[in-house]
A = this chain, B = another copy of it.
């Protein structure tokens, strides 16, 4: 079915001839060809909302490097945009919403958006899937219900660790619960549509769950991701689609995260990968976790540090090499080449 299925095999903890590798934000600003396509599109959302252009940038890193998976080019915040919050990206800044969903009225009025408003995403999945033609699997994704809530409440990124959200978590847990529960239903529907359109695996990005106290993480982030996973339908061929959850900053909660029902758990760059494997045994695949800053150094340093990650993962199946967070824009493309080559070479059994 795939000419290269190492990613899916590793996610199922099956043996692979080498460790598969893909990179968060592998299609992105460090690639000159990406910047050219983005300039043609006019804006980030212009790029994400045009299936042909989204397909073009999704495939760009696969033309340069022998990566073992493709990931849909999109943003984690498409769902709140479809809810009517008005997403935009100012040049050189992060996402910004025109409207927030932070009070009783706005949260009470919130509902799962019509998936027709997100058709551009599902069309992109189908377009990419056709273009890949079985070369490697395609990963679909969404932001986690809690991470969506962070941006919906604050309207943008935060320089105080989402203080307003953490305050709501203790002062108005009922409100935050309603918000993340609506989001969980929306994320479930959204990922199911991506699966129907051809996604071979889906990943939930919980960028900000790691900022919560442990009990609040369980209720507002982990429980809602678990609900999403339980609500996923089989793919068009009737087979279950494997899943990955990634909570940045969630290292100290790994035993609980590993029990949430996902096939794989993403690890940020601070986690000791060998200790993580010892903790979870063979219950889940682990994905990660090179510090993305390593990719801003030089090929020799990249090779040394990448090999250390492969060694830390150990010989058992179930490791998907990745960064511990997204590629940073000032990454020299030749360092990515050194990374992929090293991972494949040193992991070959």
CA A308 – CA B291 in complex, angstroms? 35
Q: Mark A142-172, 1 if CB is under 8 A from B, else 0.
A: 0000000000000000011001001100110
Task: For the complex formed, measure the closest distance between the CB of A5 and the CB atoms of chain B, giving whole angstroms.
Answer: 30
Q: A159-B159, A249-B270, A328-B163 are in contact. Are A297 and B213 (CB under 8 A)?
A: no
Q: Which of B252, B254, B291, B294 contacts A270 (CB 8 A)?
A: B252
- Asked whether any CB of chain B lies closer than 8 Å to the CB of A251, the reply is yes
Q: A170-B301, A214-B275 are in contact. Are A163 and B252 (CB under 8 A)?
A: no
Q: Which of B217, B249, B270 contacts A217 (CB 8 A)?
A: B270
CA A293 – CA B217 in complex, angstroms? 15
Which A75-111 residues have C-beta < 8 A from chain B?
Answer: none
Chain B hits for A272, CB < 8 A: 214-215, 252-253
Q: A214-B270, A215-B308, A270-B212 are in contact. Are A294 and B252 (CB under 8 A)?
A: no
Q: Which of B159, B217, B249, B293 contacts A167 (CB 8 A)?
A: B293
This chain's copy number in the assembly: 2
Q: Mark A253-279, 1 if CB is under 8 A from B, else 0.
A: 110000000000000011111010000
Q: Which of B159, B170, B253 contacts A291 (CB 8 A)?
A: B170
Chain B hits for A280, CB < 8 A: none
- Asked whether any CB of chain B lies closer than 8 Å to the CB of A210, the reply is yes
Whether the Cβ atoms of A210 and B270 lie closer than 8 Å is yes
Give the bracket for the number of chain A residues in contact with chain B.
Answer: 35 or more
Chain B hits for A253, CB < 8 A: 272
- Asked whether any CB of chain B lies closer than 8 Å to the CB of A211, the reply is yes
Task: For the complex formed, measure the closest distance between the CB of A209 and the CB atoms of chain B, giving whole angstroms.
Answer: 9
Which A284-326 residues have C-beta < 8 A from chain B?
Answer: 291, 293-294, 296-298, 301, 305, 308, 324
Whether the Cβ atoms of B252 and A305 lie closer than 8 Å is no
A–B complex contacts, Cβ < 8 Å, 30 sampled: A163-B293, A163-B328, A167-B293, A167-B294, A167-B296, A167-B297, A170-B293, A170-B297, A170-B301, A170-B305, A171-B297, A210-B270, A211-B270, A213-B269, A213-B270, A213-B324, A214-B272, A214-B273, A215-B272, A215-B308, A217-B270, A249-B249, A249-B270, A251-B251, A252-B252, A252-B254, A252-B270, A252-B271, A252-B272, A253-B272
Q: What is the interface of chain A, defined by CB distance below 8 A to chain B?
A: 159-160, 163, 166-167, 170-171, 210-215, 217, 249, 251-254, 269-273, 275, 291, 293-294, 296-298, 301, 305, 308, 324, 328
A-B contacts besides A167-B296, A214-B275, A252-B272, 16 pairs, CB < 8 Å: A160-B328, A163-B296, A167-B293, A170-B291, A170-B301, A170-B305, A171-B301, A210-B270, A213-B270, A213-B324, A214-B270, A217-B270, A251-B252, A252-B252, A252-B275, A253-B272
